[in-house]
């Protein structure tokens, strides 16, 4: 395979702006509300620092931390947390991921990309992993 055929990893961009984060949050909230899911939604910037957090009424307390960790994992590893969940599910050597600091093998964390660069990530927790992922993807698409 030639060097030109190898995909370059995404680069980090400037941190997501508050205005952009509000748009992402609004879209994710709308998806959660449409399904009557009590979620916690976290948005971090390109450095993994919390920009916004919304904990719905009746969301489980543990989801406050989990949503933030999903977002940080997605930004730090430059991929959706679903990829880590799927790798761990395959077993074998992929189980090494469980020993990787900051790796969260639960769907629901998605990098936020603007102008081809990672500007942050969204993490969602509160329901089944695939439902968390559905809400996170809805938010990411709004960017």
Residue with token string 């910037």: 45
Cα angle 15, 23, 79 (rounded to 5 degrees) comes to 55
Domain range for 94 is: 12-141
- CATH code: domain of residue 111: 3.30.450.150
Q: Which pTM does this prediction carry?
A: 0.93
Backbone phi and psi for residue 67, each to the nearest 5 degrees, phi listed first: -60, -45
The answer to whether residue 114 sits within a structural domain is yes
The whole-number pLDDT of residue 5 equals: 64
The answer to whether residue 6 sits within a structural domain is no
The whole-number pLDDT of residue 40 equals: 98
**What are the E-state strand segments in the chain?**
11-12, 40-45, 50-55, 109-114, 117-125
Listed in sequence order, the residues at least 6 apart from 41 whose beta carbon sits closer than 8 Å to its beta carbon are: 25, 28, 29, 32, 52, 53, 54, 67, 122, 123, 124, 135, 136, 139
Q: Are 105 and 98 a contacting pair, CB within 8 Å?
A: yes
**Cα end-to-end span (Å), the chain:** 33
The answer to whether residue 1 sits within a structural domain is no
The answer to whether residue 49 sits within a structural domain is yes
Tens place of pLDDT per residue across the chain (143 aa): 455 567 788 999 999 999 999 999 999 999 999 999 999 999 999 999 999 999 999 999 999 999 999 999 999 999 999 999 999 999 999 999 999 999 999 999 999 999 999 999 999 999 999 999 999 999 999 99
Count: domains in the chain: 1
């Amino acid at each position: 395979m030639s060097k030109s055929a190898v995909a370059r990893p995404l680069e980090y961009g400037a941190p997501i702006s508050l205005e952009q984060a509000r748009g992402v949050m609004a879209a994710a909230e709308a998806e959660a509300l449409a399904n009557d899911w009590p979620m916690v939604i976290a948005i971090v910037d390109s450095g993994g620092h919390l920009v916004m957090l919304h904990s719905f009424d009746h969301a489980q307390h543990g989801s406050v931390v989990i949503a933030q960790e999903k977002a940080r994992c997605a930004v730090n590893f430059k991929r959706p947390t679903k990829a880590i969940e799927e790798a761990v599910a395959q077993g074998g050597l992929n189980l090494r991921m469980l020993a990787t600091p900051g790796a969260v093998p639960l769907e629901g964390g998605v990098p936020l990309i603007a102008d081809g660069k990672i500007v942050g990530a969204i993490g969602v927790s509160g329901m089944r992993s695939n439902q968390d992922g559905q809400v996170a993807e809805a938010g990411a698409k709004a960017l």
